[in-house]
Structure formats: C-alpha cells, structure tokens
Amino acid sequence: MPSEKILEQKKQQVAELTELLKGSVAGVVVDYKGINVADDTALRKELREAGVKYSVVKNTLLGLAAKEAGLDDLTKVLEGTTAIAVSPEDHTAAARILKKFADKSKTFSIKSGYLEGDVVDIATIESLAALPTREVLLATVCNAFNAPIAAFARAIQAIVDKGGAEACAPAEAEAPAEEAAPAAEEAPAQAEAPAAEETPAE
C-alpha cells in the first residue's frame, strides 16, 4: 500500500497537471513510443522555443487531472506511453510541431488533444497543424491593414504640410466671395444703361 508521502506526491502532481491543463488554450496528447534520445531532445527544444510545455506523464495521473479540468474524454486514449504538450497562448504550435514529427516516425503518434477546454478529434488537430504560425498570422493581419493606414497617413501629412486642416477653411470661404465680386460689378453697369438711352431723346 502506498505510503502517505507517496500519496501526497501524487496529489501534488495531479494538482499541477490540472493547473497546466486549465491554464492552456490547447494541448496534444501523444504516444512517444520508439523515440530515441536525440530525436526527443530535438523535439523538446523545438516545442520549448515555441512556448509549448512538453511532459511525459503517467496515464493514471493525467486521467485524474483531465477529469478535474473538465476534459474527461482524454481518459479514453490514456494507455501505453503518454506525453502531453500544452500551450498557454498559441492554439496551433503543439499540433503543428508534433504532427510534423509524427509524420516522420513509424511509432510516435498523436492520440488526442483539446482546444479551449474542449476535447477534439485527430482531424481537428491535423487542421490546426496546417495553420500558419502565430507570427505569420499576425504579419498577415498587419499587412492587410498596412496599405490603408499608409494612405491615411500620407493624406494627414499632406494637410499638415499645407498648414493644417484650419488653413484649408479660409481658402474655401474666400472662393465664394471672389465669385460674387464680378456680379456686384455688373449691377451698376446694368443700372446705368437706361440713363444712357434717355439722353438722345432730349
């Protein structure tokens, strides 16, 4: 029968795993069977650089943690060798890196995963793996807005160069006055015309 100390350690491990699951936006569970030391080291490095935490776990402990985190369906795949990769911010990193590795291996495989608190199937994980990195997505969004913003900035600069928006207002106000001036000059001419016609009549 396990000692009190061992039971306490297991409770602590389950609590830590539970917090890990709850504090992440996505995770992937894999069967790491057949992976050698060199490949394992390279895989861990790539995951770490992408901000993904990768851990080899015992099925019983992960099963308890999954239930605590509301991911009960993960328990269905918890057999054999198991490791889990979780990401606190990036929804695609774990799926992308692990699928790429699994595609090159005959034994390493993806078992299941979750996204925003819901267990997802292999097809969903593969779809996530096909998405570009977070950096690429952000760059794409920035590029989409870049042209309109640049055009707007140029328009604002043009107004500033001309003396600001207020400097444009007097110019517009003066234009009607200039147009009205000729009309005012024509009025006396029209009034004088009859007087000129009356002179010969005398």
- DSSP of 115-142: ETTEEE-HHHHHHHHHSPPHHHHHHHHH
Q: Let me know how long the chain is.
A: 202
First to last CA, the chain: 142
- For 177-180, the CB contacts below 8 A with 24+ separation are none
Give the pLDDT confidence score for residue 149 in this predicted structure: 62
For the chain, which ranges sit under pLDDT 50? 165, 167-168, 170-202
Beta bridge mates, 53:
86
Comparing CA positions, the residue from 14, 19, 13, 27 lying closest to residue 86 is: 27
Instruction: Determine the Cα–Cα distance for residues 131 and 128; give it in Å rounded to an integer.
Output: 5
pLDDT in tens, 6-59: 888 899 999 999 999 999 999 999 999 989 999 999 999 999 999 999 999 999
Nearby residues of 57 by Cβ (< 8 Å), 6 or more positions away:
17, 82, 83, 84
Query: Looking up tokens 């160069």, which residue turns up?
Result: 161
Q: What is the CATH number of domain 4-130?
A: 3.30.70.1730
pTM of the model: 0.65
Structural domain boundaries in the chain: 4-130, 137-193
